[in-house]
Amino acid sequence: MKIALLQLEVLEKNKAANVAHGLQLAAEAAKEHDLLVLPEVWTTGYSLGHLEQEAETPASPVLAQLAEIARNEQCAILAGSV
């Protein structure tokens, strides 16, 4: 089993950039790994005062994109806290 621990510079209050970068890293790593592990609150950039508004729901586009990567590359993804 090959595991990728994804590290990325998480930008505070820049969710769009964080999501784009995280998804890009996940798509690249998924090609050669069986399990991807993303850091906690990687989508929100540690905007702790805004977590309720910025948290993802089970039907969110971010989770759908991660699920698609996992399905296409036949790997598992631990999405951190999103």
The DSSP call for residue 23 is H
Distance CA 45, CA 3 (A): 24
Q: Which domain holds residue 37?
A: 6-54
Q: What is the CA radius of gyration of the chain?
A: 12
Q: Does residue 76 lie within any of the structural domains?
A: no
Q: Does residue 59 lie within any of the structural domains?
A: no
Q: Does residue 49 surpass a pLDDT of 90?
A: no
Partnered with residue 35 across adjacent β-strands are 3, 76
Distance CA 40, CA 58 (A): 16
Domain count, the chain: 1
Per-residue confidence band for 67, with pLDDT thresholds at 50, 70 and 90: very high
Distance CA 17, CA 70 (A): 21
Q: Does residue 19 lie within any of the structural domains?
A: yes
Quote the pTM value.
0.89
| Mean pLDDT score, 48-59 | 79
Q: Does residue 74 lie within any of the structural domains?
A: no
